[in-house]
Amino acid sequence: MKIRARYGILEKITFVLLFLILLILGLIESREFVVPLFLGILLSYLLYPIGRFLEAHKVPRIIANLVAIIIAAGVIVLAVNFLSKQFGVFIEDLPEIQEQASKNMQSMREQVSSAIGISTEQFTDWEEEFTENLFEASSQVKTLFSATTSTLVNIGLMPVFIFCFLYYRNKFHDFIIMMTPNGNKEKAVHILAEINLVTRKYMTGVVIVVTILSIVHSVTFTIIGLDYPVFFGVTAAFFNFIPYFGTLIGAILPLSYAFLGMEGSSYVVAVLIYFIVIQFIENNILTPNITGGYVNLNPFITIISLIFGSMVWGVAGMLLIIPIIAMLKICCENISSLKPIGFLLSDRGTEKYSFTWEKLKNIFSKG
């Protein structure tokens, strides 16, 4: 009996692993269809308040949805066109930037050599390889940016998905309720309501945070005196769609340019200090107050989810994975057999170990 029970457990684990492998392979192979579909779902949550507002003022649902989609399409086209022009100016000046970078590298090489007593010739190969790889990557970014832009603009099915989700939202809701067993209908209504609230608040909040950071970055870079302040500001802010790592990833390009493309180390110090400050403000003030902490995911699960999303769907996966995991968490928390998974996905259970302002005050008050 023990042997049979052991084999029964192994069979279950095998089937689960096989299911997960097939699911991941299916998600990878169907990315060209699934990614626009999920983007359509998230954007429909973002545009829902516009459609609801228009419907509340006696505008028919079809017209209200079309108006919301047209507004969103106009904003996206203007943003993409603006970023393309800014990036084009940056690429045109790339030879001059590379020349300045070579001068900065040579100056740094001389300073390091005099400080540690190593001849400058030993740094030559490292310098040439580093500079060549860096600007080769910059050239590749142009191709990648153009490809990504055209892909986003030419996804013709996404407006159709958004319209259908907005127009048939009540039908989808009623379908799920009808498919739910009689004893669980009330719970299903609660789960759907919570998913709608969390996703809508999260998407709206993230867009607001990115917009604020785009303005703040651009203004700050202008004050610092960094070249191309709007381009670097908007680009750095865009990465804040990615939780936790957004500000850090967005800081790489401005810091690299301040180090290689600007004369003097003061720009590097100023940009570095700024990003340290803005990272603290964004994580502790902007995001908690604007998004309201609705997602409440375990930071460790968030990191793993971001890595998984990037492996499956690339950058798009990093943008989509957090709302998807948040929806999964809500479902698990409201289903008895899945509550342990919901607890694992949530940020609950470590409150006594967290570092808060109250604990900090208590430490200083005791001192």
Give Cβ neighbours of residue 224 (< 8 Å, ≥ 6 apart): 267, 270, 271, 274
Tokens of 23: 């699911």
Give Cβ neighbours of residue 253 (< 8 Å, ≥ 6 apart): 232, 235, 236
CA distances from 307 to 245, 312, 318, 321 (A): 11, 9, 7, 9
Q: What is the largest CA-CA distance in the chain?
A: 80
The radius of gyration computed from the CA coordinates of the chain, to the nearest angstrom, equals 25
209 by Cβ neighbours in 10 Å (0-12 / 13-18 / 19+) ranks as buried
The pLDDT assigned to 202 comes to 87
H-run or E-run covering 234? helix 229-238
Phi first, then psi: what are they for 225, rounded to 5°? 100, 15
In single-letter form, the type of residue at position 218 comes to: S
pLDDT tens, residue by residue, 27-69: 888 888 888 888 889 889 989 999 999 999 999 999 999 999 9
DSSP code for 335: S
In single-letter form, the type of residue at position 130 comes to: F
First to last CA, the chain: 63
What DSSP line would sit under 137-156, residue for residue?
Answer: HHHHHHHHHHHHHHHHHT-T
Beta bridge partners of 297: 346
Query: Per-residue confidence of the chain (367 residues) as pLDDT tens digits?
Result: 555 555 567 788 888 889 888 988 998 888 888 888 888 898 899 899 999 999 999 999 999 999 999 998 888 888 878 877 777 777 776 677 666 666 666 666 666 666 665 555 555 555 555 555 555 544 444 544 544 444 454 466 788 889 999 999 999 999 999 998 888 888 999 999 999 988 888 888 888 889 999 999 999 999 998 888 888 898 889 888 887 778 888 888 888 888 877 777 788 889 999 998 888 888 777 777 776 566 778 888 888 988 888 888 887 888 888 889 989 999 998 888 888 888 888 877 776 666 555 665 666 665 5
Tokens of 188: 């299903």
Query: Strand runs (DSSP E) across the chain, as ranges?
Result: none
Q: Under DSSP, is residue 346 helix (H, G, I), strand (E, B) or coil?
A: strand
Tokens of 335: 């289903």
The pLDDT assigned to 147 comes to 45
The pLDDT assigned to 125 comes to 54
Query: What is the domain partition of the chain in residue ranges?
Result: 34-167, 192-294, 295-367
In this structure, how many other beta carbons lie within 10 angstroms of the beta carbon of residue 153? 13
CA 188/CA 335 separation, integer angstroms: 10
Beta bridge partners of 346: 297
What DSSP line would sit under 159-172, residue for residue?
Answer: HHHHHHHHHTHHHH
139 by Cβ neighbours in 10 Å (0-12 / 13-18 / 19+) ranks as exposed
Give Cβ neighbours of residue 322 (< 8 Å, ≥ 6 apart): 202, 243, 295, 297, 302, 305, 306
The pLDDT assigned to 83 comes to 78
The pLDDT assigned to 92 comes to 72
Phi first, then psi: what are they for 294, rounded to 5°? -70, -30
**Is the distance from CB of 238 to CB of 250 less than 8 angstroms?**
yes
